[in-house]
Amino acid sequence: MHKEGTPGHRHVPWIDQGDGLRASGACKWEGEGKNSVTSKDHLLCFSCVQTYDMREMDSVASVLELVLLHYSAVSSSLCGEQSKFSMRHSVSEITAIIRDRRTIQPKDYSDREVQRDVINQVLGNAIWAPTHGMTQPWRFSVFTGAGRERLSAFMGSEYMRITPPEKFMQRKYDNHVQRPLQSSVAITLGMARDPKGKIPLHEEQYAVACAVQNMYLTCAAYGLGAFWSTGAVLTGDAMRDFVELGPEGHCLGLFYLGYPKGEWPKGYRKPLPDFVRYFEG
Ligand SMILES: Cc1cc2nc3c(=O)[nH]c(=O)nc-3n(C[C@H](O)[C@H](O)[C@H](O)COP(=O)(O)O)c2cc1C
């Protein structure tokens, strides 16, 4: 018998000795927190939406057999009915991508070109971000090849234009000029305002930020370095006009892409309890 917290718990999760043989949950491999026991004697499977009469099980072995049968039925989609409650994707896979996603700067990219179909996949996933009122405010301008030189020249001259001489920093100027050329692709993260203005500006920006996260995750899946860069040059009115976003539009920065020339970097986050409070009563 497996108890909470023991290594085998995940695989045979719903058997509990307690007051005899009974189910303490169903199909835990289909998702935490979805357990259900219809009664002491019946087990409801959330995956195939069937009730199993535990009184027909004459031994622990029978219950285990049911678990295995059930697991294979779930995994090979033999359940006759699509469950309302079953998980639809692998949480471990999406968790792995989310946690592996990293910011990698253009100086760390190799010369390897990012192919057009990869760019389109990245942007094709971007546009599936949530959008209040379905305004779909994202607009992307993609700079590749010699297009990057135009962008680089614009960024260099714009940095010079908006920076007072006493604030000029050679390192910053070089970054603006070099980053587009160090990247295989640079994409402006544009936001076009809904003409009726029914959605607040900041919500349109949130939607674009969600799109950027989709881009980042897709890049991580490809092993592609990505870097969301902001700052006055990249978010000012001149950049907005450079990529023709209209007077109400806004550029939220640049998204650089390139294959990393070194190791994929490790990430770091503080522990979850530093950020979360539950109110339970
Ligand atoms: C809105 C936004 C703007 C950012 N702008 C910059 C930037 O201008 N320069 C920079 O070095 N990093 C920038 N970053 C990237 C962060 O530095 C990076 O996400 C952070 O260091 C965490 O690293 P990770 O993305 O690898 O987890 C930006 C990130 C976000 C979300």
pLDDT in tens, 214-266: 999 999 999 999 999 999 999 999 999 999 999 999 999 999 999 999 999 99
In terms of pLDDT, which residue wins out, 71 or 231?
Answer: 231
Q: How far is the CA of 52 from the centre of ligand 1 (A)?
A: 51
Is residue 117 very low, low, confident or very high in pLDDT (cuts 50, 70, 90)? very high
Q: How far is the CA of 143 from the centre of ligand 1 (A)?
A: 20
What is the average per-residue pLDDT within 29-40? 42
- Topology (CATH) of 94-258: NADH Oxidase (3.40.109)
Q: For residue 13, what pLDDT is reported?
A: 34
SS (H, E, C) the chain: CCCCCCHHHHCCCCEECCCCCEECCCCHHHCCCCCCECCCCEEEECCCCEEEEHHHCCCHHHHHHHHHHHHHHHHCCCCCCCCCCCCCCCHHHHHHHHHHCCECCHHHECCCCCCHHHHHHHHHHHCCCCCHHHCCCEEEEEEECCHHHHHHHHHHHHHHHHCCHHHCCHHHHHHHHHHHHHCCEEEEEEECCCCCCCCCHHHHHHHHHHHHHHHHHHHHHHCCEEEEECCHHHHCHHHHHHCCCCCCCEEEEEEEEECECCCCCCCCCCCHHHCCCCCCC
Q: Ligand 1, closest atom to CA 227?
A: 15
Given a cut of 60, whether residue 175 has pLDDT beyond it is: yes
Given a cut of 90, whether residue 70 has pLDDT beyond it is: no
* Mean pLDDT, the chain, integer: 82
Domain boundaries, the chain: 7-75, 94-258
Pocket of ligand 1 (CB under 6 A): 102-103, 228-231, 267
Q: Whose CA is nearest to atom 9 of ligand 1?
A: 229
pTM of the model: 0.75
Given a cut of 70, whether residue 10 has pLDDT beyond it is: no
